[in-house]
């Protein structure tokens, strides 16, 4: 009774999991014990499991004969399967918990399940034996009780730990076997009871077993009993497709005021009668009404009638739609209603003008009328031919027709002139906010930003540049960017705005002219200073005729521009293709200031530095940027002993693996392969390229991994994929930055940066003849050989395939001019693009640090190269870290 009182008085602990027990019957082996075991042996027997029992335990041997068991004489059995009519009091406070107590590794733990109920009332109280207390149980513990998993002596459930188990599968504690309060040589099962005749345990066939709970989740023991419930967490939610509003956010000042319920108005307009007898199409009537300036309320019935043909092209608008008419009128409210009705906001007319480009052209016309002195570039610069006599009649007929067209056009233009500038700007703002394509090309390949830069309207340009998808440097058919248009027309504010947003000040058009050339041609010194602040080395940039900006400014007589160029270090000793210096193409003040500059240079330096532009583009137009060649050292002509190529050439057939099995494309779907789970990125260890198209700063150049880019077998979206850096760049050539081939003092020809290069940016691909290594060994000139070694851990995958080599001596790219340095600013990296043949990687040179404009580009040729070459030559890098400052023979002596 003392044990029962302790069990009831102890605060029950709680476990918030369902008990799932598993009976484990362990075989035991009989072991003889002394009649009075020592305390150490007794305590040890409680913890250790006994060995297997090969035979059932028999009865105790004695002098008396054994008498047969009488089933009717069995007493003191358990109550595990006995029903009960004892009920708990009806006024127990809710919630009522299960009162069962479990023994888990020697620790008593309570239950947190609700007590079982029979209907609305609590189920009867149960107990395991006459010595155990009555308790309320949950359904799980009631089932365990019926399975004899509760000890009848103390009423505590045997859950986890070491217990006794009889031959019938009953469980009880080590200290609760029969007889009670006596030394137990072989305990009897309290569930099976005792024989009434001899008052001895009825079943002594018991063995020790170890039970362990198997829970589906982690066990948590709470300090007190509480109701079990699933925790409520805040989480991320998703909206149904129908509930998501994909319409762009339109600024409130562009919406009609007061607000218009278009849905209700359209429903009312649909019920109105439509004049079906009219021969004019509904779309044409709507277009005429918009141009007439009708209000939105008057336009809605016509829009409802023309919804099926709302995007019909109108001959009166040269193929334009109703949206073009609304743009001409400057009617934002009509645009709002047309967009709701399903009108296409990017529809183009016969002249390839979208509504946005049309609005831009109208703004340009207004600006030209305000300042007619502004110049415009024209493509037709040829003089007009004199008309022949037989062509005069045709010319007169054409002139009459043109006069009629111009008269009709003048009527329309007079109407359009009435559209205020503010209304046209609102139209532009609405179209941009509605998600129109701001990069759409119109006549002559010009975008709306080209036209806006030409107008000089900084507010107009700012509206377009605020669009998320705008391209700051689009090119028209002449290769001109918006910055070129703004610079040539002298729009300083627009130039400053474009440069602040990353416009390329070194861009070139199809004739090799840059922004500085056009600015010098127009004579805008203020804009010229802004351009030279961003591109200081463009003072010596030549065009296709080898004219520098100083040639252009001096020829036009723009004294202010000449002074600015000379102050920024413009060279006065560069000849153009006609052999003319800048001083030879001008007269007057420009010639005087250039002559003075040359005399001052001669007095300070002793002689004018020789500078020869040998070629304006040694790549012959093969590269994305022109590659000029200059000589500032001697009279050596431009290198002509090689053929410039932008990809590998093969003098003999090679076995290249292009099989689908070797390509191993990813399956990223519509993603951009930005996650490291992309199969191609996994081959590269991780994704190393950034969104800016550079290697991450953490890229290990000391042990560079091979880069596997997505190829043609990948399932990703090729326009969005961020793992195709070299693949995209090599489509434009093998040189990815602006550079110049120049003559060095000690190492022949070299390559230097013409503009700053950020760290991690790709610079060039090493291209040339692709040869097997044994063929390359037989070539006499080995200064341009680049061995495509396979990493040792991947050599077995290549099998017997020969190691390849790139020879850039007779066929090569710009990378052939990159010299060696023991402290380089470039590093080669293996990159696989369209093929995954491990013997044929692309050799891509990446910047290992920020490279300044004018700095020579170098990479480390490696110890294999110098182990051979150091016997005949020394390193001329001049670095403090130079490893080969002298020849190896000199070092040995």
For residue range 352-386, list pLDDT tens digits in order.
Answer: 999 999 999 998 888 776 655 444 444 333 333 33
Q: Which of 231, 260, 292 lies at the terminal end of a domain, its last residue?
A: 231
Count of C-beta atoms within a 10 Å radius of residue 520 = 34
d(C-alpha 283, C-alpha 322), whole Å: 7
624 and 700 in a common domain:
yes
Band of pLDDT at residue 238, cut at 50, 70 and 90: low
Across 813-831, average pLDDT: 92
Q: Which of 587, 609, 631 lies at the terminal end of a domain, its last residue?
A: 609
pLDDT at 243: 46
214 and 270 in a common domain:
no
pLDDT at 266: 60
109 and 85 in a common domain:
yes
Q: Which of 23-27, 327-331, 444-448, 687-691 has the highest mean pLDDT?
A: 444-448
Q: How far is CA 302 from CA 287, 290, 443, in A?
A: 9, 10, 31
d(C-alpha 343, C-alpha 303), whole Å: 10
Q: Which of 175, 196, 231 lies at the terminal end of a domain, its last residue?
A: 231
In a domain? residue 59? no
In a domain? residue 348? yes
535 and 424 in a common domain:
no
d(C-alpha 188, C-alpha 194), whole Å: 8
Band of pLDDT at residue 387, cut at 50, 70 and 90: very low
pLDDT at 610: 58
In a domain? residue 402? no
pLDDT at 592: 93
Would you call 492 helix, strand, or coil by DSSP? helix
267 and 350 in a common domain:
yes
352 and 466 in a common domain:
yes
Q: Which of 634-638, 731-735, 788-792 has the highest mean pLDDT?
A: 731-735
The number of C-alpha atoms within 13 Å of 506 and in the hemisphere containing its C-beta is: 21
Helices and strands, number each (H, E), in the chain: 27, 26
441 and 308 in a common domain:
yes
With contact defined as beta carbons under 8 Å apart, do 354 and 442 qualify? yes
Q: What angle do CA 52, 54, 58 make, to 5 degrees?
A: 110
Q: How far is CA 680 from CA 659, 664, 669, 832, 842, in A?
A: 16, 8, 13, 10, 16
Band of pLDDT at residue 556, cut at 50, 70 and 90: very high
In a domain? residue 742? yes
Residue 55, C-beta contacts closer than 8 angstroms, at least 6 positions apart? 30
pLDDT at 150: 94
pLDDT at 517: 93
Band of pLDDT at residue 27, cut at 50, 70 and 90: very low
Strands 826-832 and 707-708: parallel
673: DSSP letter:
S
Residue 405, C-beta contacts closer than 8 angstroms, at least 6 positions apart? none
Residue 604 is part of a domain; what is its CATH number? 1.25.40.20
- Domain extent at residue 339: 250-374+414-471
753, pLDDT greater than 90: yes
pLDDT tens, 287-343?
888 888 888 778 888 888 888 888 888 888 888 899 999 999 888 888 888 888 888
Q: Which of 888, 778, 760, 881 shows the shortest CA–CA distance to 825?
A: 760
pLDDT at 769: 92
Between 832 and 297, residue with greater pLDDT? 832
pLDDT tens, 98-144?
999 999 988 899 888 889 998 888 999 999 998 899 999 999 999 99
Structural domains counted in the chain: 5
Strands 107-110 and 121-122: unpaired
pLDDT tens, 37-80?
333 333 333 333 343 433 444 444 444 444 455 555 777 789 99
pLDDT at 201: 86
342 and 289 in a common domain:
yes
In a domain? residue 239? no
Would you call 363 helix, strand, or coil by DSSP? helix
Across 275-279, average pLDDT: 58
735 and 623 in a common domain:
yes
Q: What tokens does 596 get?
A: 């003075």
With contact defined as beta carbons under 8 Å apart, do 436 and 356 qualify? yes
In a domain? residue 779? no
847, pLDDT greater than 90: yes
Percent of the chain with pLDDT over 90: 27
Residue 843 is part of a domain; what is its CATH number? 2.170.270.10
Band of pLDDT at residue 520, cut at 50, 70 and 90: very high
Between 2 and 434, residue with greater pLDDT? 434
Across 810-832, average pLDDT: 92
332 and 370 in a common domain:
yes
Tell me the pLDDT of the chain averaged across its residues: 79
562 and 531 in a common domain:
yes
d(C-alpha 298, C-alpha 290), whole Å: 10
Across 278-288, average pLDDT: 82
In a domain? residue 304? yes
H-helix or E-strand spanning residue 598: helix 588-605
Task: Report pTM.
Answer: 0.51
Q: Contacts for 590-595 with beta carbons within 8 Å, 24 or more apart?
A: 590/553, 590/554, 590/557, 590/558, 590/559, 590/562, 591/554, 593/559, 593/562, 593/563, 593/566, 594/550, 594/554, 594/562, 594/566
Band of pLDDT at residue 11, cut at 50, 70 and 90: very low
pLDDT at 568: 87
Across 686-697, average pLDDT: 86
Strands 739-743 and 629-631: parallel
pLDDT tens, 564-613?
999 988 888 888 888 899 999 999 999 999 999 888 877 776 555 556 77
pLDDT at 33: 35
556 and 440 in a common domain:
no
Would you call 76 helix, strand, or coil by DSSP? coil
Q: Which of 197, 222, 256 shows the shortest CA–CA distance to 64?
A: 197
DSSP secondary structure, 309-357, as one string:
GTTPPBGGGTTB-HHHHHHHHT-HHHHHHHHHTT--TT---TTS--HHH
In a domain? residue 399? no
Band of pLDDT at residue 855, cut at 50, 70 and 90: very high
Across 141-156, average pLDDT: 92
Percent of the chain with pLDDT over 70: 76
């Amino acid at each position: 009774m003392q044990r029962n009182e302790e069990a009831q008085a102890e605060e029950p602990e709680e476990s918030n999991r369902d008990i799932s027990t598993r009976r484990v019957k362990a075989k035991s082996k009989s072991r003889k014990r002394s009649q009075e075991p020592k305390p150490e042996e007794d305590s040890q027997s409680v913890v250790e499991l006994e060995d297997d029992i090969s035979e059932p335990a028999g009865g105790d041997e004695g002098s008396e004969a054994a008498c047969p068991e009488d089933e009717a004489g069995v007493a003191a059995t358990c109550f595990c399967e006995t029903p009960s009519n004892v009920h708990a009091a009806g006024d127990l406070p809710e919630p009522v918990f299960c009162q069962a107590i479990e023994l888990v590794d020697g620790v008593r733990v309570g239950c947190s399940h609700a007590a079982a109920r029979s209907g609305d009332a609590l189920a009867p109280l149960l107990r395991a034996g006459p010595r155990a207390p009555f308790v309320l149980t949950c359904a799980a513990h009631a089932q365990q009780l019926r399975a004899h998993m509760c000890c009848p002596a103390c009423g505590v459930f045997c859950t986890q730990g070491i217990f006794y188990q009889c031959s019938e599968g009953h469980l009880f504690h080590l200290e609760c076997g029969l007889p009670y309060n006596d030394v137990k040589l072989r305990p009897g099962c309290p569930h099976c009871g005792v024989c009434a005749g001899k008052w001895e345990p009825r079943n002594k066939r018991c063995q020790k077993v170890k039970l362990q709970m198997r829970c589906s989740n982690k066990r948590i023991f709470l300090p007190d009993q509480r109701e079990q419930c699933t925790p409520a967490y805040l989480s991320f939610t998703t909206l149904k497709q129908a509930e998501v509003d994909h319409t762009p956010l339109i600024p409130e000042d562009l919406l009609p005021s007061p607000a218009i319920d278009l849905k209700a108005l359209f429903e009312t307009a649909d019920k109105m009668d439509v004049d079906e007898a009219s021969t004019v199409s509904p779309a044409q009537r709507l277009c005429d009404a918009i141009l007439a300036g009708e209000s939105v309320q008057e336009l809605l019935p016509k829009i409802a009638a023309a919804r099926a043909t709302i995007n019909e092209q109108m001959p009166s608008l040269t193929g334009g739609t109703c949206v073009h008419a609304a743009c001409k009128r400057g009617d934002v409210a009509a645009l709002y209603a047309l967009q709701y009705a399903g009108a296409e906001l990017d529809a183009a007319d016969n002249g390839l003008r979208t509504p946005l480009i049309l609005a831009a052209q109208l703004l340009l016309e207004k600006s030209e009328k305000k300042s007619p002195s502004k110049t415009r570039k024209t493509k037709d610069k040829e003089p007009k031919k004199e008309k022949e006599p037989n062509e005069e009649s045709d010319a007169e007929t054409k002139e009459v027709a043109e006069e009629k067209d111009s008269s009709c056009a003048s009527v329309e233009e007079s109407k359009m002139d009435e559209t205020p500038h503010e209304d046209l700007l609102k139209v532009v703002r609405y179209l941009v906010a509605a998600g129109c394509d701001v990069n759409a090309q119109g006549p002559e390949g010009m975008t709306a930003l080209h036209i806006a830069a030409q107008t000089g309207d900084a507010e107009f340009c700012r509206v377009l540049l605020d669009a998320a998808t705008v391209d700051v440097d689009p090119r028209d058919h002449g290769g001109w960017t918006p910055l070129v248009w703004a610079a040539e027309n002298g729009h300083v504010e627009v130039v400053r705005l474009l440069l602040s947003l990353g416009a390329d000040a070194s861009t070139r058009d199809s004739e090799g002219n840059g922004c500085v050339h056009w600015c010098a041609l127009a004579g805008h010194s203020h804009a010229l200073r802004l351009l030279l602040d961003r591109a200081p080395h463009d003072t010596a940039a030549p065009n296709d005729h080898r004219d520098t900006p100083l040639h252009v400014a001096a020829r036009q007589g723009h004294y202010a521009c000449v002074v600015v160029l000379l102050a920024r270090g413009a060279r006065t000793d560069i000849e153009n293709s006609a052999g003319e210096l800048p001083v030879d193409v001008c007269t007057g003040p420009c010639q005087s200031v250039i002559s003075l500059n040359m005399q001052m240079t001669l007095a300070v330096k002793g002689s004018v530095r020789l500078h020869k532009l040998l070629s304006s583009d040694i790549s012959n137009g093969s590269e994305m940027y022109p590659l000029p060649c200059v000589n500032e050292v001697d009279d050596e002509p431009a290198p002509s002993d090689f053929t410039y190529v932008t990809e590998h050439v093969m003098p003999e057939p090679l076995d290249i693996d292009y099989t689908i099995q070797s390509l191993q494309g990813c399956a990223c779907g519509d993603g951009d392969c930005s996650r490291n789970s992309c199969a191609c990125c996994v081959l590269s260890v991780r994704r190393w390229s950034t969104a800016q198209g550079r290697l991450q700063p953490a890229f290990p150049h000391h042990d560079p991994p091979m880069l596997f880019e997505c190829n043609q077998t990948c399932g990703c979206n090729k326009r969005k994929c961020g793992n195709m850096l070299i693949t995209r760049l090599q489509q434009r050539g093998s040189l990815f930055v602006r550079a110049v081939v120049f003559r060095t003092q000690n190492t022949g020809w070299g390559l230097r940066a013409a503009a700053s290069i950020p760290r991690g940016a790709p610079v060039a691909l090493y291209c040339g003849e692709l040869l097997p290594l044994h063929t390359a060994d037989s070539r006499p000139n080995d200064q341009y050989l680049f061995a495509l070694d396979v990493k040792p851990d991947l050599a077995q995958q290549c099998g017997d395939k020969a190691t390849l080599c790139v020879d850039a001596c007779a066929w090569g790219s710009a990378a052939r001019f990159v010299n060696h340095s023991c402290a380089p600013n470039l590093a080669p990296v293996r990159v696989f693009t369209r093929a995954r043949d491990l013997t044929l990687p692309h050799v891509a040179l990446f910047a290992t640090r920020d490279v300044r404009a004018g700095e020579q580009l170098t990479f480390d040729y490696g110890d294999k190269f110098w182990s051979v070459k150091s016997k005949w030559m020394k390193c001329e890098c001049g670095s403090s870290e130079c490893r080969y400052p002298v020849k190896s023979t000199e070092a040995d002596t």
